[in-house]
Amino acid sequence: MKNILILTFILFALTGCSSLTQNRYKSAVLIEITPEIKLEIEQIITAASNGSKARLADNVFTNQSTLTIEKNRPHNSNVNIKRIYNEPDIYELIISDNGQCFISHTETKLQWFLFKARCQPINLQ
């Protein structure tokens, strides 16, 4: 009986911890984008995608919180028929409870802190 109580307590504790972590971050958008902020984001995405150079739009993360990047995109448009389909990399801009901005890779859950950017939570209605 004692073991069942201990096991029940542990399960409740683990459930509580996982729900706390999920509530710590919210989807966000950038308040403003400057060339320095864009460069910082490009460097993070390039490093996260094993050195594949990322060229991003000037309004990245300003209208939506996600960025989708195709993996192994061929440089020659003639090879589009022959390429092997891979799931894209999806990155999300998130904000923590204390207002810090991060880029999160949705598949691996790795996060990178943005030093220069300021962001705000998205109003999800």
- Rounded to an integer, the average pLDDT of 25-45 is 94
pLDDT at 103: 96
Domain boundaries, the chain: 25-121
pLDDT at 95: 95
Q: Are 92 and 101 in contact (CB under 8 A)?
A: no
3 state DSSP class of 75:
coil
pLDDT tens digit sequence for 55-108: 899 999 999 999 998 876 555 555 555 455 678 899 999 999 999 999 999 999
Closest CA to 65 of 91, 100, 38: 91
The conformation of residue 83, written as its DSSP 8-state character, comes to P
pLDDT tens digit sequence for 6-27: 444 454 444 443 333 455 889 9
